[in-house]
């Protein structure tokens, strides 16, 4: 038998290579099986801090087998516990000081629990065991503390997380600012993990070579390790991010319509550059970023071209929805997207369905007794809240409301009745009415009569009887011309004396002053009389009515006379009365601050004697004022302005001569009359307790 040694040699090499390649895979496949037989449970993760050392302690039940891998940008340490599951309440634990910024926990795969330790810098670490616990220690001697604590606290996943304004460990890692050239603008790709990467297992992870020092991944497996750590970050934040994104989108959904500022958007910033992308692919992208379940209506279709840089993802979603006439509905962590027409049709259908279901219910009839409100006054208001099958009637005698409607409307009507049928507060209004009047009159007049004749007695000159006589007839033996002796009829009724040339006496009334100058001779006689009078008057009328009214109810006060007016219509005689009174109307309203708002109407009507009556009906003179004013409880407000003021100057004179300076005063009469009247109202409202 001849042996082919070269072929045998190559065959042995191939078998050895296959055996060496499959042994690690068999070890990895057998390890989870063993883990499933005795699955470990992580029950507690704690951070301890001391001046020289910081440590993360992971405790649980069963054996905790850990693999570590260090990653950069940002610096973090990833711990994978094969065959273990998480049983902790919190998935994010904030750090106390450098170098540990915080710890994030997540169930990476059903059989792998992942713990990510965020670091402030690349710090040496050691992995050790303390009984059944795994302790990862960091040397802090070369790292400056971020916030040196006074004591040495311990924060675990079971303690209550408190807000620390210095760090936001739940926020995404900071990004490096990118400065772009204006001539060469580039837009970065979306910064998130793709769905396929989330479902791929890690290719290479760091493994132990000893007890204390971890093994760094070599250059050939660096890319696979980077991908695995990105999956770890996403898996660790899946639970917390999904709930947080749901809250973010719910806040944006409840926000007002467009026109508001971007302060309402709190989602993680993203950068996208898409051209002619299907809308459904964009919404799949939103699902991967937010962790929300996205359901699309069949009518949602179209393409999308969008370029955004560092824009919150919820704002980007709103922009796309607005540009494509779409809208969203959020129910828990399920986001439904449909066209506005579809949502409008669904809302109208739902409304019609509810209305039809409500109208299908048999109506009932109830009665409600009112205590403070009038039943007839509430009917128009309550009818607006009834259904299309409802009706309401008012019984005036018992002051009850009879309501017939479907059962779901009755509680609404009862609540309105409870709010409206309440005891109203009362306001006492004390009014003081003051009418002040002033008058002044001055009258100065003259009378002049003279007569003369020539020495021969053939020429006589003097006044005329039609003007009047002076009434002066002195006892003198002279015989002046034109002297009346009591038988002549004159213009002023005086039958003796010298006939007057001018007769402008003052209207003395009941009294006055006068001055007489008289001269007699055989050929000449003169009588000059000056009369003057002056009067002043001041009047004051005071009344003090008081009235009590309810809140928002009008109170009215009248004082004066009612004038009867007789009219004849179709041979029927009727009598009507017109008020010539002083009237005050006040409507108080109590405000929430305890002040009183008043609507005030003041009217003063009197008979105008200066206008002649028409068929016995007098003319009325009216002064009115209407105002609205707010007064403190117990305060006083003055309402005036109803003022009547008149001034009259009358001059009676002889033409030409009466207009001469100085001398003209002897041939004229001057009368001055001034009158003023003012009406004042002093209102004092008071709220009556109880």
pTM for this model (two decimals): 0.42
CATH code 3.55.50.30 region(s) in the chain: 269-357
Element (H, E) at 635: none
pLDDT of residue 479: 59
d(CA 284, CA 292): 10
Q: Which residues of the chain have pLDDT under 50?
A: 1-3, 5-8, 18-37, 144-222, 224-225, 228-229, 232, 234-236, 238-241, 255, 257-263
Query: Can you tell me which residue has the tokens 């994010």?
Result: 92
The hierarchical CATH code for the domain 40-139 is: 2.60.40.3500
CATH number of 269-357: 3.40.50.12780, 3.55.50.30, 3.40.50.720, 3.40.190.10? 3.55.50.30
pLDDT of residue 108: 86
- Ramachandran region, residue 497 (left: φ > 0; alpha: ψ -120 to 50; beta: rest): left
CATH code 3.30.1370.120 region(s) in the chain: 363-422
pLDDT of residue 459: 79
pLDDT in tens, 22-31: 444 444 444 4
DSSP state of 209: S
pLDDT of residue 440: 87
DSSP state of 204: -
CATH code 2.60.40.3500 region(s) in the chain: 40-139
pLDDT of residue 337: 93
Q: How many CB atoms lie within 10 A of CB 317?
A: 25
d(CA 409, CA 384): 11
Instruction: Using CB atoms within 10 Å of the CB of residue 588, give its burial: 0 to 12 exposed, 13 to 18 middle, 19+ buried.
Output: buried
- Nearest to 637, CA basis, from 652, 646, 625: 625
Instruction: Give how far Cα 255 sits from Cα of 252, 278, 354, Å.
Output: 5, 27, 27
The hierarchical CATH code for the domain 363-422 is: 3.30.1370.120
Buried b (16+ CB within 10 A) or exposed e, 605-616: bbeeeeeeeeee
């Amino acid at each position: 038998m001849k042996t082919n040694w070269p072929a045998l040699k190559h065959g042995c090499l191939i078998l050895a290579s296959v055996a060496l390649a499959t042994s690690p895979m068999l070890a990895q496949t057998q390890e989870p099986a063993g883990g499933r037989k005795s699955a470990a449970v992580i029950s507690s993760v704690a951070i301890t801090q001391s001046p020289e050392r910081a440590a993360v302690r992971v405790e649980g039940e069963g054996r905790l087998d850990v693999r570590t891998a260090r990653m950069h940008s940002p610096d973090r340490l990833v711990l994978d516990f094969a065959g273990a599951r998480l049983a902790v309440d919190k998935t994010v634990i904030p750090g106390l000081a450098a170098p540990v910024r915080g710890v994030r926990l997540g169930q990476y795969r059903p059989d792998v629990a992942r713990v990510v330790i965020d670091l402030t810098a690349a710090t040496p670490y050691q992995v050790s065991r303390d009984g059944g616990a795994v302790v990862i220690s960091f040397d802090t001697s070369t790292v400056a503390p971020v916030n040196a604590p006074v004591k040495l606290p311990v924060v675990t996943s079971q303690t209550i997380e408190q807000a620390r304004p210095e760090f936001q460990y739940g926020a995404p890692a900071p990004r490096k600012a990118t400065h772009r050239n204006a001539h060469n603008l580039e837009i970065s790709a979306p910064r998130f993990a793709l769905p396929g990467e989330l479902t791929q297992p890690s290719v290479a992870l760091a493994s132990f070579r000893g007890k204390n020092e971890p093994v760094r991944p070599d250059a050939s497996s660096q890319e696979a390790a980077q991908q695995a750590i990105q999956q770890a970050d996403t898996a660790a934040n899946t639970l917390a991010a999904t709930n947080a994104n749901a809250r973010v989108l719910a806040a944006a959904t409840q926000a007002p319509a467009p026109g508001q500022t971007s302060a309402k958007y709190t989602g993680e910033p993203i950068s996208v550059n898409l051209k002619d992308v299907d809308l459904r692919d964009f919404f799949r992208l939103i699902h991967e970023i937010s962790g929300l379940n996205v359901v699309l209506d069949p009518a949602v279709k179209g393409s999308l071209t969008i370029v955004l840089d560092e824009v919150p993802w919820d704002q980007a979603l709103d922009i796309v929805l607005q540009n494509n006439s779409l809208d969203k509905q959020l129910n828990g962590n399920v986001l439904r997207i449909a066209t506005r027409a579809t949502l409008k049709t669904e809302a109208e259908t739902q409304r019609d369905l509810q209305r039809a279901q409500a109208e299908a219910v048999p109506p009932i009839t109830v009665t409600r007794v009112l205590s403070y409100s009038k039943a007839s006054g509430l009917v128009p208001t309550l009818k607006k809240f009834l259904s299309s099958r409802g009706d309401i009637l008012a019984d005036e005698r018992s002051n009850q409301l009879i309501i017939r409607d479907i059962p779901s409307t009755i509680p609404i009507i009862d609540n309105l009745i409870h709010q409206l049928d309440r005891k109203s507060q009362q306001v006492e209004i004390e009014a003081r009415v003051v009418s002040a009047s002033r008058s002044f009159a001055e009258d100065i007049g003259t009378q002049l009569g003279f007569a003369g004749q020539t020495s021969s007695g053939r020429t006589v000159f003097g006044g005329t009887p039609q003007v009047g006589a002076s009434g002066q007839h002195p006892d003198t033996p002279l015989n002046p011309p034109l002297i009346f002796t009591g038988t002549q009829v004159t213009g002023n009724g005086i039958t003796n004396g010298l006939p007057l040339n001018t007769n402008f006496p003052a209207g003395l009334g009941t009294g006055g002053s006068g001055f007489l100058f008289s001269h007699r001779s055989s050929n000449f006689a003169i009588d000059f009389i000056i009369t003057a009078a002056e009067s002043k008057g001041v009047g004051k009328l005071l009344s003090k009515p008081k009235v009590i009214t309810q809140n928002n109810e009008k109170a009215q006060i009248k004082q004066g006379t009612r004038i009867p007016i007789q009219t004849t219509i179709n041979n029927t005689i009727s009598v009507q009365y017109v008020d010539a009174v002083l009237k005050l109307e006040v409507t108080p309203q109590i405000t929430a601050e305890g002040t009183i708002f008043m609507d005030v109407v003041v009217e003063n009507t009197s008979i105008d004697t200066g206008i002649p009556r028409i068929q016995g009906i007098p003319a009325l003179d009216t002064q009115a004022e209407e105002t609205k004013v707010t007064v403190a409880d117990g305060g006083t407000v003055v309402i005036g302005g109803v003022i009547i003021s008149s001034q009259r100057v009358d001059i009676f004179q002889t033409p030409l001569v009466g207009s001469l300076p100085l001398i003209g005063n002897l041939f004229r009469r001057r009368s001055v009359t001034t009158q003023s009247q003012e009406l004042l109202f002093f209102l004092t409202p008071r709220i009556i307790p109880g």
